[in-house]
Amino acid sequence: MSESIPTRESLAGFIVTEPRRVTTAAGRYRRSARVGVEHWRAALDGTHTEAEPSFHTLALYGRLAAGLMGEFHKGERLVAAGHTRAYPIDRVAVMAS
């Protein structure tokens, strides 16, 4: 019998804005930044063309946010895994855990 491999939503991208640090009303650390994700289109001839990137808000909370204070900066590449929360008005945030 094969066991399933646990997976999570993830994205690979780049940091667009300098991360902001705040403390929530409950006293938890929160760190957030806008991130971009590059996209590519495959053509019938097998070539790939770069498409427009999509932009998202990356948010970290609690110990993870506190431990990573000052570790990420605008322009750096990143891979984040967590879960997605969809918001109205075309806003999407990826919550890294």
Compute φ and ψ for 25, nearest 5 degrees: -60, -25
Record the pTM: 0.72
Write out the two tokens for 79: 């891979």
Q: Set out the domains of the chain in order of their start, with CATH numbers.
A: 10-96 (2.40.50.140)
pLDDT digits (tens, 9 = 90+) for 10-24: 999 999 999 999 888
Q: DSSP states of 13-53 as a string?
A: EEE-SPPEEEE-TTS-EEEEEEEEEEEEEE-TTS-EEEEEE
Pairing of strands 48-61, 91-96: parallel
Q: What confidence tens digit (pLDDT) does each residue in 4-55 have? A: 888 888 999 999 999 999 888 999 999 999 999 999 999 999 999 999 999 9
- Cβ neighbours, 10 Å, residue 81: 13
pLDDT of residue 6: 82
Listed residue (31, 34, 36, 38) closest to 17, CA to CA: 34
Per the CB < 8 A criterion, the answer to whether 48 and 40 are in contact is yes
